[in-house]
């Protein structure tokens, strides 16, 4: 069967949730037995988001094969079973880079290189590469175009997907447009005009959307759906209310309840997939997350806390997944590490059940993270360090237990004891984009270690994104002073995991486990971390003194 294509565009403004919508549609279509693949096309001129500030663009998601991609690929992988690769995410910068390189090589045989056909042809070529035979069988490709319809930079992408309908046949292409139906509080009503204008803009570019996903704060009533249908030249059943939900993992259920999957099947042929989606596992997850019996407060000590929703997106989701498997709701307390010093660290971490230090770059807020790690170590507070968090756990330990007062990372400047130093493979590299240790690498776990017990395996594979490592010259001192190196690269040269024997839970890793956590398959490191937090909380409750009874 020929691969079918769904193209998802957005209008009115950004951050409407195109990525989540694309992911949720993928989940419900996969639940119907289809083999689904997701692709993200971004119109910005960066070759990839790897060098972009988390404040501007959110987290950088890393794939198994080491691509630094948009955070929407994280949504796709959390909702759809198929792992994604470098070819599943590309930008205008990458497109233009390819076109210019081909022109310099004489690939266009002296032609004048233009947006149409050369740029649009390259966009289509990369879509074919992302969805073609090398990906295995693909029944349905869901391709999201970043940005907003009408943006100058997105025009070549809109033209390319317009051409795809003629290239693939109208029965194999479906356009879904995500738009806004705002609630105007002063007037007390939902307004459809932004949606009407957005569809008009898309029509002016040659695309009639087949289905509208209307983002709103509340469900859109039938009479308003009919009004939108009349003005936008679609059927009422093709106007889907994409209203706010308190749990993003409800979206496949919400879309199915409104018949979105049935409409997609009908428009794309309908004779494939099972009669009804198997959404029991999604329903079970949502049910378990509604009113869990426990609440855990976890301090996330970092430097990007002002924009924590997007900058720590995969981390936030992984903590949620790990909480649900422990029948707990996770309440995150974001602590700006730049605000922590020895005099106030206890106040900042008061009342939390566990501490997590995430990854990051640069020296801002480093001392605050080290103070938080020391507090967790000395006060038996469950601790989890990721990437930079592991490196700083090593620095803190060698400063305060190993007797090296000036132990530090060479990332932050010259030091007498560079216990964290630049990887040999990174020496001499000056380019910033795509030059780190990226993607999946194997890790061997020490017999009898906490890490080995958590994973239930001798060898694991996890995704990395870093340039610095624990200096091998200090491995022996670490273990001599009581820190266990519980995970290493197969050749034993790189430290992948550390832990502290005797501590209730003190585990850190050089890799980023959050990238592999899924709502239906929580990552074991997050599950174990939150289980330790829950055990500590329950123990404190059991040992709490009984209240005095007044006479």
Write the DSSP assignment of 33-50 as a string of letters.
T--EEEEEEE-SSSSSGG
Residues linked to residue 408 through DSSP beta bridges, in sequence order: 418
Give the per-residue pLDDT at 160: 98
Token reading at 344: 């106030």
Q: Containing H/E element for 160?
A: helix 155-168
> Is the per-residue pLDDT at 427 higher than 80?
no
Give the per-residue pLDDT at 550: 58
pLDDT tens profile 487-517: 999 999 999 999 999 999 999 999 999 999 9
pLDDT tens profile 391-423: 999 999 999 999 999 999 988 888 899 999 986
In angstroms, what CA-CA distances link 174 with 206, 365, 474? 14, 48, 58
pLDDT band at 306 (very low <50, low <70, confident <90, very high): low
Give the per-residue pLDDT at 284: 96
Burial label, 150 (beta-carbon count in 10 A; 0-12, 13-18, 19+): middle
> Is the per-residue pLDDT at 24 higher than 70?
yes
Q: Is 257 among the residues known to form the active site?
A: no
Q: What average pLDDT does this structure show over 321-346?
A: 95
> Backbone phi, then psi, for 237, in 5-degree steps?
-70, -10
Task: Quote the distance between the C-alpha of residue 165 and its chain's center.
Answer: 31
Give the per-residue pLDDT at 360: 81
Whole-number percent of the chain with pLDDT over 90? 82
Give the per-residue pLDDT at 422: 86
Give the per-residue pLDDT at 134: 81
The per-residue b/e assignment along 311-336, b for 16 or more CB within 10 angstroms, e otherwise, is bbbbbbbbbbbbbbbbebbbebbbbb
Is the N-terminal amide bond of 219 cis, ω within 30° of 0? no
Q: Is 387 among the residues known to form the active site?
A: yes
Give the per-residue pLDDT at 32: 92
129, 19 in Cβ contact below 8 A?
Answer: no
> Is the per-residue pLDDT at 72 higher than 80?
yes
The lowest-confidence range among 81-90, 245-254, 358-367 is 358-367
Rg, Å, the chain Cα set: 25
Q: What average pLDDT does this structure show over 311-327?
A: 95
Q: What average pLDDT does this structure show over 312-332?
A: 96
pLDDT tens profile 155-172: 999 999 999 999 999 999
> Backbone phi, then psi, for 332, in 5-degree steps?
-90, 130
Between CA 39 and CA 255 the distance in angstroms is 20
Residue ranges of alpha helices (H) inside 41-154 are 54-57, 72-79, 92-104, 120-131
Q: Containing H/E element for 62?
A: strand 61-62
Catalytic site residue from 30, 85, 210, 387: 387
**DSSP annotation of 248:** G
Write the DSSP assignment of 408-430 as a string of letters.
EEGGGS--SEEEEEE-GGGTT--
Task: Quote the distance between the C-alpha of residue 103 and its chain's center.
Answer: 35
pLDDT band at 273 (very low <50, low <70, confident <90, very high): low
> Is the per-residue pLDDT at 428 higher than 70?
no
Between CA 186 and CA 432 the distance in angstroms is 49
In angstroms, what CA-CA distances link 164 with 122, 156, 157, 174? 12, 12, 11, 10
Between CA 548 and CA 417 the distance in angstroms is 53
Give the per-residue pLDDT at 51: 76
Where would I find the beta strands (DSSP E) of 134-291?
A: 140-145, 173-180, 183-184, 189-190, 211-216, 239-243
68, 62 in Cβ contact below 8 A?
Answer: yes
Give the per-residue pLDDT at 62: 94
Q: Is 443 among the residues known to form the active site?
A: no
Give the per-residue pLDDT at 308: 61
> Is the per-residue pLDDT at 245 higher than 80?
yes
Q: Containing H/E element for 333?
A: strand 328-336
pLDDT band at 187 (very low <50, low <70, confident <90, very high): confident
Q: Containing H/E element for 329?
A: strand 328-336
pLDDT band at 310 (very low <50, low <70, confident <90, very high): confident
> Is the per-residue pLDDT at 276 higher than 80?
no
pLDDT tens profile 92-140: 999 999 999 999 999 998 899 999 999 999 999 999 999 988 888 899 9
Q: Going by DSSP bridges, is the β-strand pair 328-336/239-243 parallel, antiparallel, or unpaired?
A: unpaired
295, 328 in Cβ contact below 8 A?
Answer: yes
- Domains in the chain, please, with CATH? 4-284 (3.40.50.300), 292-539 (3.40.50.880)
> Is the per-residue pLDDT at 55 higher than 70?
no
Helix orientation angle between 313-325 and 72-79, rounded to the nearest 10 degrees: 30
């Amino acid at each position: 069967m020929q691969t079918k294509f769904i193209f998802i565009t957005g209008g009115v403004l950004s951050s409407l949730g195109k990525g989540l919508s694309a992911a949720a549609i993928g989940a419900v279509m996969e639940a119907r037995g289809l083999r689904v693949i997701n692709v993200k096309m971004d119109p910005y001129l960066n070759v990839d988001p790897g060098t972009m500030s988390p404040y501007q663009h959110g987290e950088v998601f890393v794939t198994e094969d080491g691509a630094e991609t948009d955070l929407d690929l994280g949504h796709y992988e959390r909702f759809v079973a198929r792992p994604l690769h470098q070819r599943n995410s590309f930008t205008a910068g990458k497109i233009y880079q390819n076109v210019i390189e081909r022109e310099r090589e004489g690939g266009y045989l002296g032609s004048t290189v233009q947006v149409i056909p050369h740029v649009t042809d390259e966009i289509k070529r990369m879509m074919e590469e992302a969805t073609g035979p090398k990906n295995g069988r693909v029944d349905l490709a869901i391709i999201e175009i970043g940005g907003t319809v009408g943006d100058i930079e997105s025009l070549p992408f809109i033209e390319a997907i317009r051409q795809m309908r003629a290239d693939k046949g109208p029965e194999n292409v479906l356009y879904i447009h995500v738009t806004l139906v705002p609630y105007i509080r002063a007037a007390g009503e939902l307004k459809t005009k932004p949606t009407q204008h957005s569809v008009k803009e898309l029509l002016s570019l040659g695309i009639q959307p087949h289905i509208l996903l209307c983002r709103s704060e509340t469900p859109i009533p039938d009479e308003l759906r009919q009004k939108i249908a009349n003005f936008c030249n679609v059927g009422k059943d093709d106007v889907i209310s994409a209203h706010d939900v308190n749990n993003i993992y409800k979206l496949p259920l919400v879309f199915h309840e409104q018949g979105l999957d049935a409409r997609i099947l009908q428009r794309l042929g309908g004779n494939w997939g099972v009669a009804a989606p198997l959404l029991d596992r999604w329903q079970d997850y949502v049910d378990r997350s509604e009113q869990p019996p426990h609440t855990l407060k976890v301090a996330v000590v970092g430097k990007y806390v002002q924009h924590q929703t997007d900058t720590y997106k995969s981390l936030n989701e992984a903590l949620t997944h790990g909480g649900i498997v422990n029948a707990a709701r996770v309440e995150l307390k974001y602590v700006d590490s730049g605000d922590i010093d020895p005099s106030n660290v206890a106040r900042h971490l008061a009342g939390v059940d566990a501490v997590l230090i995430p990854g990051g770059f640069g020296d801002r807020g480093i001392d605050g993270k080290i103070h938080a790690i020391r507090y967790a170590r000395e006060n038996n507070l469950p601790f989890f360090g990721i990437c930079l968090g592991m490196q700083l756990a090593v620095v803190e330990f060698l400063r305060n237990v190993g007797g090296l007062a000036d132990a530090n990372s060479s990332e932050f400047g010259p030091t007498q004891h560079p216990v964290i130093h630049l990887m040999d493979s990174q020496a001499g590299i000056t380019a910033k984009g795509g030059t780190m240790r990226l993607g999946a690498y194997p890790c061997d776990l020490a017999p009898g270690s906490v890490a080995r017990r958590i994973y239930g395996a001798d060898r694991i594979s996890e995704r990395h994104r870093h340039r610095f490592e624990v200096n091998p010259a200090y491995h022996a001192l670490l273990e001599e002073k009581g820190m266990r190196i519980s995970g290493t690269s197969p050749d034993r040269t790189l430290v992948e995991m550390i832990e502290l024997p005797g501590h209730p839970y003190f585990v850190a890793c050089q890799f980023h486990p959050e990238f592999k956590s899924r709502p239906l398959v929580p990552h074991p490191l997050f599950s174990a971390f939150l289980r330790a937090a829950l055990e500590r909380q329950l123990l404190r409750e059991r040992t709490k003194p009984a209240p005095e009874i007044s006479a």
